[in-house]
Amino acid sequence: MESLREKAIEDLRRFGISGTQIYLIDLIPLIEIIWADGMVQAGELEILENYLQTHVDHINGVAGCRVLTLTDAKAFINRFLDQRPDPELLKCLRELVHPVRLSNSDAQTNRALKESLLSTCLDIAASSVIRYPYGLGDRFNPAEKQCFFEIVESFMNLPPDKCTT
């Protein structure tokens, strides 16, 4: 019987994500929060690029060899940043993060990755506001808030919805 992880990896293949790119799928929520307000802003990109370098270094460190390059990782994210992807596609891909990257047998590793991703989502959302001055409750765009809560919910230990191509 096929595991949830194997099924999710097969789903990713249908979306053109395979091989070592599966180790980049957890960047999707960061891309999703960047696009939540409808635009990519310089401060958001700076945070994503800093995270990307750390992420690639971490994956290579865990593997004990170079399995990802920064160039390949940038190419992966640019396919979602050059033009706004369908929000439903991003949601579907985000739902595959849990079985592929957050279902490790080491609960501490899973928790650390979740916290890192959620923390970076908050940093991205707080990095760029559309207008100044902003009110006390306006630091985060309402669409970014909604997106953040959806990301948090998807990181709960729930099986992903079925994605269609």
SS3 assignment for 88-137? HHHHHHHHCHHHHHCCCCCHHHHHHHHHHHHHHHHHHHHHCCCCCCCCCC
Which of 36-40, 51-55, 58-62, 138-142 shows the lowest mean pLDDT across its residues?
Answer: 138-142
3-state secondary structure 36-58: CCCCCCHHHHHHHHHHHHHHHHH
Map tokens 């490790």 to a residue: 104
pLDDT computed for residue 140 by the predictor: 77
pLDDT of 13 higher than 90: yes
Q: What counts of helices (H) and strands (E) characterise the chain? A: 8, 0
The answer to whether residue 163 is domain-embedded is no
DSSP for 64-85 reads: TS----HHHHHHHHHHHHSSPP
Q: Which residues contact 67 (CB under 8 A, 6 or more apart)?
A: 20, 23, 59, 60
Average pLDDT score over residue span 34-40: 93
pLDDT of 149 higher than 80: yes
pLDDT computed for residue 165 by the predictor: 47
The answer to whether residue 159 is domain-embedded is no
44, 124 Cβ separation under 8 angstroms: yes
- Show the domain range for 115: 4-154
Token readout for 11 is 């789903």
Task: Compute the mean pLDDT over every residue in the chain, rounded to the nearest whole number.
Answer: 89
Query: pTM value?
Result: 0.88
57-102 pLDDT, tens digit each: 999 999 999 999 999 999 999 999 999 999 999 999 999 999 999 8
The answer to whether residue 13 is domain-embedded is yes
pLDDT > 70: what percent of the chain? 87
Distance CA 11, CA 65 (A): 27
The answer to whether residue 128 is domain-embedded is yes
When divided into structural domains, the chain yields a total of 1
User: Between residues 104 and 21, which one has the greater pLDDT?
Assistant: 21
The answer to whether residue 164 is domain-embedded is no
The answer to whether residue 160 is domain-embedded is no
